[in-house]
Amino acid sequence: MSVLVGRKAPSFTAQAVINGGEIVGDFSLDQFAGKYVMLFFYPKDFTFVCPTELFAFQEKLEEFKNRGVELIGISTDTEQSHWGWLQLDKNKGGINGITYPLVADTNKTISANYDVLVGDWDFNDEGEMIAHGELIAYRGLFLIDKKGVVRHQLVNDLPLGRNVDEALRMIDALQFFEDNGEVCPANWSKGDAGLTATHDGIAEYLTNN
């Protein structure tokens, strides 16, 4: 598993569904240059844990926007699959009401470049690709800063849903550090004090906490 933290986020251009129903053919990470991006991968459309995550992100969408963060979901399903799922009501297993972009990583290259692609593959003597297991994405999450650098990543196995509040906390921590130059100690939350990265600063923080 590659660690992308501190490195430039891999760029991509792909099909996507935006605004809950509009298919676009040239959705690119580059269009968000100069902005924060929260990029998250999920395994499959029309499944069980995935819609709970997608709706959880949607419920907090305004909080992402208030922090100046663009939210983008990705799976290895087609854009037609995304579109069909978006048209179904929640009580029928659909995700109608999701408005942030859902990218179609149908050739698996985005998932591979972010190193969240599940399964192994190789080529036989005839040059044919052989896959072992489904080629879908783990539950990867990547916080990308305004310079396009990954500042936080989290990868969960397929059965383990993520905590959206923790994703927001990491945005708050990054922006606090950028604004104040102070680092964020364990269990830091927005509104808490930071500490200066010096022996005196750490000693003072530990004494007061």
Q: In 20-39, which positions are buried (b, 16+ CB within 10 angstroms) versus exposed (e)?
A: beeeeeebebeebeeebbbb
Task: For residues 63 and 115, give the distance between their C-alpha atoms in angstroms, rounded to a whole number.
Answer: 28
Q: How many CA atoms lie within 13 A of 146 on its CB side?
A: 7
Q: Which residues contact 22 (CB under 8 A, 6 or more apart)?
A: none
DSSP one-letter code for 22: E
Q: Catalytic pick from 4, 14, 50, 71?
A: 50
User: Among residues 2, 63, 76, which one has the least CA distance to residue 36?
Assistant: 63
At residue 209, the 3 state secondary structure works out as coil
Task: For residues 42 and 111, give the distance between their C-alpha atoms in angstroms, rounded to a whole number.
Answer: 10
Q: How far is CA 201 from CA 70, 185, 197, in A?
A: 34, 11, 6
**How many CB atoms are located within 10 Å of the residue 83 CB?**
18
Give catalytic status of residue 184 as yes or no.
no
What are the residue numbers of the active site? 50
